Amino acid sequence: MSERSIAIGPILGISAAILAFLFWLIYFQTPASSSEEWVSVLPTMIACLNAMSASFLGVGFIAIKNGYKRLHIGMMISATTASALFLVCYIIYHHYAGDTKFLAEGIIRPIYFFILISHILLSMVVVPLILLTLWFAIRKYYDSHKKIAKWTFPIWMYVSVTGILVYLILNNFNTV
């Protein structure tokens, strides 16, 4: 086994564990009851963290295209941090709130579910891609890093932006 591929198994294992936990948390765990106001703020915070991640990704992409390696590294660390904080807030929110029902009717309903389903499916793909891309960068396997980053960047950006769209649709159209 090559040194470059040694991380693939653990990364896939960690990613599968994260995804299995989230699936259990949202669909099988009974939400903890909380009347705390801070819980209601979490969806907005989650959307802001997605916006920050997308912004950092965009600046990092522009930075590396223009040869600003240190800025690129800083932006990728920032995007990873924002995404990790997103995940923590997402877990906390769904621990208390459970699954969010979408009650709106009309044309917005299939639009919402298309965005949501593509967001969920690609978020499952992007977790191991992010970890692998970061691992290649940390190990200084820049050729492998660049090859996988070409896939990671657009998927990560899509997941971040559609996360914001899901929030906006839920908060503006989710009425009966």
Prediction pTM value: 0.88
When pLDDT is cut at 50, 70 and 90, the band that residue 10 belongs to is confident
When pLDDT is cut at 50, 70 and 90, the band that residue 1 belongs to is low
**How far apart (Å, rounded) are the C-alpha atoms in residues 70 and 4?**
23
Which comes out higher in pLDDT, residue 176 or 144? 144
Q: What is the pLDDT of residue 19?
A: 85
Contact yes or no for 42/89 (Cβ under 8 A) = yes
When pLDDT is cut at 50, 70 and 90, the band that residue 80 belongs to is very high
Q: What is the pLDDT of residue 4?
A: 65
Q: What is the pLDDT of residues 86-140, one digit of tens each?
A: 999 998 998 888 788 898 999 999 999 999 999 999 999 999 999 999 999 999 9
What is the set of domains in the chain, with CATH numbers?
38-173 (1.20.120.80)
Q: Which two tokens stand for residue 2?
A: 């090559």
**How far apart (Å, rounded) are the C-alpha atoms in residues 131 and 87?**
14
What average pLDDT is seen over the chain?
91
Q: What is the pLDDT of residue 176?
A: 56
Q: Which has the closest alpha carbon to 170: 117, 73, 100, 88?
A: 100
